[in-house]
Structure 1
Amino acid sequence: MPLSLPRRTAAQIALRVRRAGGDVFTARRLILALKTAVAAAVAWFFAPLVPFADADYSYYAPLGVLVSMYPTVADSARAGIQSLIGLACGIAVGFGGLAIVASGAPGIVAVGVVVLAGVAVGGIRALGMGRDWVALAGLFVLLLSKNDPDGFSSSYLATMAFGVLVGVVANYVLVPPLYLQSARDRLSELRAAVVTALDRAADAVAKGEPDRGALVEDGEALAELSIAVSADVDEASRSERANIRARGVGGVHDENAHRWWGLERATYLARDMLDVLGQQDCLDERHGDPELLAAAMRSVAEQLATPPGDPETTARTDAAWRAIDEYAASLPAADEAADEHDQPGLWLAATLGRMTDVSRRVSAALV
């Protein structure tokens, strides 16, 4: 397949922009920010009405919203509950610090003990998001409770719990996030990146002089993008839970699952291929005919670039197998190799075949 410069440039620019800016200007982030702002304002306004809480501590309600507002409803509920458990543990640690002060010990000793115990208890992995709140809550109780530790602690926990509740409800009611389409787009981005990397490598192979620096750079970019896409696909799956907008989207979920299964393997194989090619300053007889290898790589790239359900899928898959067979025929026979354990050409042909088969299986599953 001829090298497509616009496609390569677009993929590189998109990756660089994502690295630099993250999700700051994406619609999903702006919607989350708006929902958080609304929920925080509502929580602060109604916090004085929370039972068992002093109205003077209403400012903890917006904080409860912040600790519970996550991109998915399920994550919001989990983070909120974990944070409240962490706060409860921290309050207990804070009361221990107050007991130390009451016994006549210097305040500096109590602060040290509370921080020590809070950080140690925060090592409990089951606390999840609440781990960081243990030491903080302990210090708040020790330093801010003044002469009413019971009132402060109950107000602190009750007001935070109210804020968490408001945050979870707001995330559920106000445009509950559903990231299946976003994950689909990210999978297409990863597919384009794999195809571009194969195209670039094919150009270098055709010249017989692989550019190690470029191959390493492309391999690292694929690894980074693959990790990011994996997180996005997982987040999309979590966004379906307890989401009223998730009804009737099972087809998109299944499509994403199949595509990620194939792209995860194709990315790994492509990175391995780039690594093998980059280990040589130039290709020799062990690698077979460079032109045929380049042609096979481009044909496999074209097959990978074919979206699910495309009518050309079968024809391009057959073309990829033919190109691989032609390249394999140019390789030296196994009994003619100087070192039977050093036959990179056979490995390259097998890897191209594996990529083609993975893509074929994904296409078949999505028909």
Structure 2
Amino acid sequence: MFAQVRQRALTAAGQAVATERLVLAIRAAAAATIAWYLAPLLPLADADYSYYAPLGVLVSMHPTVADSLRSGLLALTGLGSGILLGLGGLLLVSLGAPGVVAVALVIVVGVVLGGIQALGTGRDWIALAGLFVLLLGGRQPDDFSLSFLITMAFGVVVGVAANYIFPPVYLHEAGERLALLRARIAEALEHMADMVGEGRIDAEMLTQVSEDLTNLSSEVAAEVRKADRSRRANPRARRLREVQQENDNAWWMLEWSTFFARDLADLLRRYPRISEEGRADLLTAALRHTADAVAAAPGEGWDEADDAAEAVDDYLTRLDAGETPLADRRPALAAASAVGSLVDMTRELAASER
């Protein structure tokens, strides 16, 4: 338990001080300072509300240009809706409704409208902006609302502009995560080969291997999606189209490879006697050659894939020649099929990266 907590704390600390995060923090601080300094110069906006400009920067500051633009626009949409809602609440008060009733209605309607998924990050601003206008608008709610909206919009523009200056592209980071997933799949196959070769299937370790691959695959998927978003509205990405194509091909193949590796681990866990069908040394050889093929450098691995395919064929030939009833051989045949599918994925990946 303590080890898990410690590991999670170290992971969180590493994420907080990652280079990517530190650069984003410096960029956000610089943009917020500029927005706050320039906000009093805005026409139609009261300088007393210039502190909303840094807030606009924060809502639009994301790792990618596309995310910054989208988040900023959605926040302004939610903000504008909330301002209209707050003005509606003030109208009720002017007509004689108790203030507490107006507050309750603004919150109820704002939270209900916040359920619209299409508004994204703007959902949280509807009730909040409505409450601000209702409680802080004072005797000049129109002036407050206009200043609130203009100043926040200015902050969003500054935030998006700050991200557009040397915008980050996360294609190489995604490539590194894909390489890590490739290495982990190969490592998992080596562990399975050791178990089969020694005739000792460790169910607990296989479960852990499967979970680790699942978790890493999810993290890599998120990294690949972020890399794809970082290309949008990014002039630097035009020179990196080939890198993006390589990442897309690698992810498609490795996603399926992860599935087959997990399927193989599950088969060995549920049917530990698989290694007794045919010959354990043939299955072990197939697993080791496949691990070598998966671990090969991008665009390579042809010889390793050929060796793995030959080893899988030898194992299947042995299974077909056995006298064991077909029903008893099905788990071993399924395992051979999973290994064969991994070899096919490896060949396709090698071909796509040439």
The question of a shared fold, defined as TM-score above 0.5 by the shorter chain, is answered with: yes
The structure-2 alpha-carbon separation of the partners of 1:209 and 1:108, relative to structure 1 and needing over 3 Å to count, comes to farther
Give structure 2 stretches of 5+ with no counterpart: 1-6
Secondary structure, in 3 states, of the residue corresponding to 2:298?
A: coil
Whole-Å Cα distance in 1 between the matches of residues 196 and 84 of structure 2?
Answer: 65
Please give the residue correspondences for 1:163-242 in structure 2 after superposition, counting only pairs within 5 Å: 163-173=155-165, 175-242=166-233
The structure-2 alpha-carbon separation of the partners of 1:241 and 1:95, relative to structure 1 and needing over 3 Å to count, comes to same
Which of 288, 304, 321 matches 2:294? 304
* Corresponding letter in the other structure for 2:285: A
Between the aligned residues of both structures, percent identity stands at 49
Which residue is 1:324 aligned to? Answer: 312
Secondary structure, in 3 states, of the residue corresponding to 2:319?
A: coil
Decide whether the 8 Å contact of 1:79 with 1:129 is kept in 2.
yes
* Corresponding letter in the other structure for 1:292: L
Decide whether the 8 Å contact of 1:299 with 1:320 is kept in 2.
yes
Whole-Å Cα distance in 2 between the matches of residues 106 and 291 of structure 1?
Answer: 83
* Corresponding letter in the other structure for 2:187: T
Secondary structure, in 3 states, of the residue corresponding to 1:51?
A: coil
Which residue is 2:336 aligned to? Answer: 349
The structure-2 alpha-carbon separation of the partners of 1:62 and 1:334, relative to structure 1 and needing over 3 Å to count, comes to farther
Whole-Å Cα distance in 1 between the matches of residues 61 and 249 of structure 2?
Answer: 30
Whole-Å Cα distance in 1 between the matches of residues 274 and 143 of structure 2?
Answer: 79
The structure-2 alpha-carbon separation of the partners of 1:180 and 1:285, relative to structure 1 and needing over 3 Å to count, comes to closer
Give structure 1 stretches of 5+ with no counterpart: 1-14
RMSD: 2.0
Please give the residue correspondences for 1:257-268 in structure 2 after superposition, counting only pairs within 5 Å: 257-268=248-259
| Structure 1 position 32 matched with structure 2 position 24 | yes
Which residue is 1:3 aligned to? Answer: none
The structure-2 alpha-carbon separation of the partners of 1:82 and 1:285, relative to structure 1 and needing over 3 Å to count, comes to closer
Whole-Å Cα distance in 1 between the matches of residues 236 and 116 of structure 2?
Answer: 35
Shift of 1:246: 1.7
The structure-2 alpha-carbon separation of the partners of 1:366 and 1:97, relative to structure 1 and needing over 3 Å to count, comes to same
Shift of 1:109: 1.9
Decide whether the 8 Å contact of 2:31 with 2:158 is kept in 1.
yes
Deviates more, 1:236-245 or 1:63-72: 236-245
* TM-score for the superposition, normalised by structure 1: 0.90
Deviates more, 1:48-57 or 1:207-216: 207-216
Shift of 1:45: 0.2
Shift of 1:287: 4.0
Whole-Å Cα distance in 2 between the matches of residues 141 and 333 of structure 1?
Answer: 81
Shift of 1:189: 0.8
Whole-Å Cα distance in 1 between the matches of residues 10 and 295 of structure 2?
Answer: 22
Whole-Å Cα distance in 1 between the matches of residues 86 and 277 of structure 2?
Answer: 68
Decide whether the 8 Å contact of 1:94 with 1:142 is kept in 2.
yes
Which has more helix, going by share of residues?
Answer: 2
Q: How many residues align?
A: 348
Decide whether the 8 Å contact of 2:59 with 2:72 is kept in 1.
yes
* TM-score for the superposition, normalised by structure 2: 0.93
| Structure 1 position 83 matched with structure 2 position 40 | no
Which of 86, 95, 98 matches 1:94? 86
Which residue is 1:69 aligned to? Answer: 61
Shift of 1:330: 2.9
The structure-2 alpha-carbon separation of the partners of 1:331 and 1:286, relative to structure 1 and needing over 3 Å to count, comes to farther
The structure-2 alpha-carbon separation of the partners of 1:108 and 1:338, relative to structure 1 and needing over 3 Å to count, comes to same
Decide whether the 8 Å contact of 1:285 with 1:332 is kept in 2.
no
| Structure 1 position 50 matched with structure 2 position 42 | yes
Residues 137-187 of structure 1, C-alpha deviations (whole Å, 9 max, x = no match): 1111111112211111101100000000000001001x2111111111010
Shift of 1:286: 6.8
